[in-house]
Structure formats: C-alpha cells, structure tokens
Amino acid sequence: MPLDNPFYSAEQQGPYELVSIGRFELAEGGVIPDLELAVATYGELNEAKDNVILIPTWFSGTHATWWQVYIGPGRALDPTRYFIVVVNQIGNGLSTSPHTTDDPEIAMSRFPHVRIGDDVRAQEILLRQVWGIERLALVVGGSMGAQQTWEWAVRFPDKVLRAAPIAGTAQITPHDVLFVRTLMDALTSDPGWAGGDYAAHTDVADGLRRHADIWAIMGLTTDFWKSGYWKTIAPVVEGLGWETFEDFQQNFTRLLFGLMDPNALLTMGWKWQRGDVARLTGGDLAAALGRITAKVFVMPIEQDMFFPPQDCEPEAALTPGAEVRMLHSIAGHFGLFGFEQTYLDEVDSALTELLAHQV
C-alpha cells in the first residue's frame, strides 16, 4: 500500500498531471509495469510544435521550484511564448516512486534501479506519444536536471536544438560519488529505515536529519554562512524563522529534507552516482560529447562544491560549439533555489541569448 506523505501533493508542489507511458524496461534489467510520470505544463503548444522547452527535475526537487522561481511572462522561460514541460524524474516522489506505487513487486525496498538514461528515454516517449513532439527548442535543467540535459543532447542529438545544463556535469566525478555515498549512508544507517520497508518517512527522522546536515555543509558555501546572508531568506513556514545560523539549519535544511521520503532520495542518489553520457560511447567522453549538435551553454555556479566550474568547463571544451556562461551565487549549489535576483538575472540573460541563437 502506498505511504501517505503530504509533501508530495499538488497542494505542496503545485498542480501536475500523472501520465502513464505503460510498461517501461530499465537499463539495469528491472521493469516498472506501469510508469506514471508527474508532468506540469505551462503555455500552449503551437501548431508547428517548435516552441517546446523541456525541464527535467533535480535531486530531491520537483516542478515546484521551476514555476515558483524561473518561469513567467517576460522571463526567458516565458509561457506566453513557449510550451514548457517540466517532467519529474522517476522515483522523485511524484512520478512512480518506491513509496507511491501500489504494485507490491516494486514497492519500497523492491523498487528497481533507475539510471539517468531511463529518465531521458521515458521523457522522449512521453513527449512523442502524448503531444507528437519530435524536436525541442531547449532542454534546460539544474544539477541532476543538468545530467539529464546532457544525456538528452548526447542520446537524441537530432531532437535537441539547444541545451543548457546548469550546475551539473555530463560525467560523474569521484568527488560526487563519495559525496552521494555519505548522503545515502546517512539514511540507510538509521535503524528506522528497516532495509527500505519503513512504515512512514518519519520512522527515518534521524537519518533524514543527518542527510540534511550534510547538505547544509556542502550545498551552501562558507560565505553564505559567515556573511549572514541566510538572514535575508524568507521562512519556509510562517512562524519558523531564524535568528542564528543554527536556527536556519533547523528550520530550512532539516525542515525541508525531514518532509521527504528516504527511498525516493535513495533512488535518485543511486542514479546521480552513475550519471555518465560516456556509457553511450563505450566509455569515451570526448566521443559522446562530440555527438552533440545542439547549441550548448554550459552554466556552472562559481562557488558550487558539487559541480564546480573546473569540472564543467573541460566538458564544454569537448562539446562542439559550446560556450560557458558562469553564474554567481553566494549560496553555491543551493543558488539553484534563486535566493538572489542577480543570479536569476544571469540565468535569464543566458537563456534568452541561447533561445535567440539560430540553429
């Protein structure tokens, strides 16, 4: 029986539709008998079907941050001009996930391994079968969404006209593998996890707290903490603000991750650790990126400790015609939340330029 978790609801995340694409075979050999993707759309598909922007979601995230922070009239991601499709990745708590499925063969601890490539293949099926979409004006995503953006550009070069991976790499690094392992160990070491068959996400409260604390250290920069920038951020829940940095840790990172499902986080973490477009070319990263025909803007965040510029820029150099557009945020990787208007202006400027590029 699916576990009830109000965090994964339209009331919390914004409206979306569950769309079935049927039986879906996974790269690792598992099967999801009826894969349902949680999809949010903004704007209208034009007759030529050439105004489509695809946005895949990041680790722990849903479509919520995109409509709250990045999408709007007059912005680069303008729903009055484009048909914007945000697809929640498999296992994120809204699309078919360990705690949401009512199929006992794949529920909870029995949920099969999913790869970044599986998400992209599922998204391609969705777009083609539901709307008849064969080409994308732009694929843009942050973090794990950037991993999917890279995968799209390599796997389906004839379908992607432009691509903007934000704060994410085409090939996982050893640092990220180790980092994600600590995130996963924080959850699985909690006795309440019960091998993945807990009765409620709150049974794993200690593990979720430790998971959140790792994010507080690595997801946010030393400048963010020591400058007191956290004081300027609005509370997540009215009445739960912060006067000290420990308060912020408790009422922002711990509060948010404490609402999430552990198995959903583990499913996403497993695929994050294995994100690598070179799998499509026998391990040759240069050959994989050389397949890309899209116009690519690689958009790292300067102080990001997960996907730093020094990891993103070499990939841009291997990608034909790619350009780097550096983003700046005192929050580092968590700059993706859009705390600063200057960061959002940089994103809008780069995406506007990219969308104007003739391809």
Contact assessment for residue 120 and residue 88, using Cβ atoms and an 8 Å cutoff: no
- The answer to whether 63 is a known catalytic residue is no
State how far the Cα of 352 lies from the Cα of 285, in Å rounded to an integer. Answer: 29
Largest distance between two CA atoms of the chain: 55
**Rg of the chain on CA atoms, in Å:** 19
- DSSP helix/strand/coil, 85: strand
Tell me whether strands 83-87 and 36-42 are parallel, antiparallel or unpaired: antiparallel
The one catalytic residue among 60, 95, 97, 143? 143
- The answer to whether 143 is a known catalytic residue is yes
Q: Which pair of structure tokens corresponds to residue 213? A: 């604390």
Angle, CA 51 vertex, CA 276 and CA 94 arms, to 5°: 55
Q: What is the DSSP string of 234-284?
A: PPSSTT---SSHHHHIIIIIIHHHHTS-HHHHHHHHHHHTT-BGGGGGTT-
The one catalytic residue among 176, 190, 304, 311? 304
The count of C-alpha atoms lying within 13 angstroms of the C-alpha of 206, restricted to the half-sphere facing its C-beta, is 8
Contact assessment for residue 192 and residue 203, using Cβ atoms and an 8 Å cutoff: yes
Structure-derived torsion over alpha carbons of residues 256, 260, 264, 266, reported in degrees to the nearest 10: 60
Beta bridge partners of 295: 162
State how far the Cα of 31 lies from the Cα of 35, in Å rounded to an integer. Answer: 9
- The answer to whether 227 is a known catalytic residue is no
State how far the Cα of 70 lies from the Cα of 347, in Å rounded to an integer. Answer: 9
The residues annotated as belonging to the active site are: 143, 304, 333
